Structure 1
Amino acid sequence: MTIIIQLLVLALIILSTVLVIGIPVTLASPGKWEKSKNLIYTTIGIWVGIIIVTGIINSFIA
């Protein structure tokens, strides 16, 4: 069960890094926001989902 938490946290760190780099680049590029808006919203939704799942699984461990 601990390995699952560690993998979820690793996924959260990787996805957070991608979002921290990707969102400003997308917003700074002319015309990219309209093309990438759905992808960014989907990625943010996945990020929130990972946080919720990690919290729920972590409540069973502690």
Structure 2
Amino acid sequence: MTIIIQILVFILVAFSTILVVGIPVTLASPGQWEQSKNLIYTGAGIWAILVIITGVFNSFIA
């Protein structure tokens, strides 16, 4: 079970890094907000689900 938590945390950190770099670049580019709005909202939703799943799995260990 510990390996699952480690994998989930790694995925969460990697995805967070991608979002931290990608969202400001998208917002700073002229005209990109209209094209990338759905992608940004989807990424934020996936990130929130990853946080919840990681928390649920972590509650089984502690």
Instruction: Place the TM-score, normalised by the shorter chain, in its bin.
Output: over 0.9
- Gapped runs of 5+ residues in structure 2? none
For 2:44 and 2:7, how far apart are their aligned partners in 1? 18
Give 1:1-62 correspondences, 5 Å limit: 1-62=1-62
Q: Which amino acid aligns with 1:6?
A: Q
For 2:11 and 2:37, how far apart are their aligned partners in 1? 22
1:15 Cα deviation from its structure 2 partner: 0.6
CA RMSD of aligned residues (A): 0.5
1:57 Cα deviation from its structure 2 partner: 0.7
- Gapped runs of 5+ residues in structure 1? none
Offset from partner CA, 1:7-52 (integer Å, 9 cap, x none) = 1100111111011000110010001111001011001100000000
For 1:3 and 1:40, how far apart are their aligned partners in 2? 29
TM-score (norm 2): 0.96
TM-score (norm 1): 0.96
